[in-house]
Amino acid sequence: ANGSQVTNLKRGDNVTVEGVIALGSLGVRIDSLAPIIVNSQNNTLPTPEVLLTETIGTSILGTVAAEQWSGCLVTYKNVTIDVANADGTNNYGESYVNDGVLPHTRVIWSDGNTRFNAGANAVKVNAGDTFASITGILGFTHAYYKLTPRKDDDISGYVPTSIEEEAIGSPADYSLKQNFPNPFNPTTNIVYSIPKSGIVTIKIYNILGQEVRVLANRMMNPGTYNVSFDASSLNSGVYFYSLTVDNFTQVKKMMLLK
């Protein structure tokens, strides 16, 4: 009976739910439900709470900073995939993301109804992919707090990033090449080299010095890399891109002409 009640609920319904709080591997939930009472309908939906990924991080169950948002609608902004498969070869459909500050936190794709869900036509995320924002329900399952996007309009500004390492051995020095083509519209390539392993950060800034995109923010092995930057969502103008790894930083200028 309770299952049929839930399937009849609609977005915007204000309801009263009564039951017994239970804790298990699937997180905190309400069991032994009494009949659900619909108090009103067509209510304005709540505004998502914008959080930093470090607020949730990899917190253990019951951590106040994370648990206070459990079951709430949450948004992460300007995030980068730093680990595509959070569980390695097990691949349970979860990724680690961060908004430029560690620790990272989890997003679960396999439970939502988005184009990133499992299936033959699903979009597969890769390390370095970026999102303007990801919104979803924050919950706790199987040892981690994680965000579950519900449908495609919970996800905005997706930019896939292709990073390929050339098989030419380790470079002798750090270097950041001039992007090509330049000027460009809307995509360009940025090539850089690192002589030893380190956390590599590639960022894009506008003429005001405001960060507009993070193309990479993860541990990388020695090598020469090519990252593709898609500026479809940006206005024409001068932009700057920076490479930071260990104590090395280099910045170059590029021009977007639409």
What confidence tier does 37 reach under pLDDT thresholds 50, 70, 90? Answer: very high
Q: State the Cα torsion 239-153-25-83 to the nearest 10°.
A: -30
- Clarify whether residues 144 and 190 are in a common domain: no
Residues 6 or more apart in contact with residue 68 via CB below 8 angstroms: none
- What's the number of domains the chain is made of? 3
What average pLDDT score do residues 145-169 get? 76
pLDDT tops 50 at residue 167: no
The CATH number for 189's domain is 2.60.40.2550
Which position has the higher pLDDT, 127 or 183?
A: 183
Residue 146's CB: how many other CB atoms inside 10 A? 24
Same domain, 181 and 222: yes
pLDDT at 1 over 70: no
- Identify any residues that bridge with 251 across adjacent strands, giving them in sequence order: 242
From 12-16, 52-56, 61-65, 74-78, the region with the lowest mean pLDDT: 61-65
The answer on 56 and 126 residing in a single domain is: yes
67 and 146 inside one domain? yes
Where among 101, 127, 156 does a domain terminate?
Answer: 156
pLDDT-derived band at 117 (thresholds 50, 70, 90) equals confident
**Are residues 251 and 170 part of one domain?**
yes
The pLDDT, as a whole number, for residue 232 is 83
Q: What is the pLDDT of residue 169?
A: 57
Can you give the residue range of the structural domain that contains 127? 46-156
What is the band of 85 on the pLDDT scale with cuts at 50, 70, 90? confident
Q: Which stretch of 136-140, 161-165, 175-179 has the lowest confidence by average pLDDT?
A: 161-165
> Is 67 in contact with 144 (CB distance < 8 Å)?
no
Which residues are CB-contacts of 130 (< 8 A; sequence separation ≥ 6)? Answer: 78, 79, 80, 81, 157, 158, 159, 161, 213, 214, 215
Q: What is the pLDDT of residue 130?
A: 84
Q: Each residue of 168-204: pLDDT tens digit?
A: 457 889 999 998 889 998 888 888 989 998 899 999 9
According to the model, what pLDDT value does residue 80 have? 86
Residue 214 has a pLDDT of 86
Q: 173 and 152: one domain? A: no
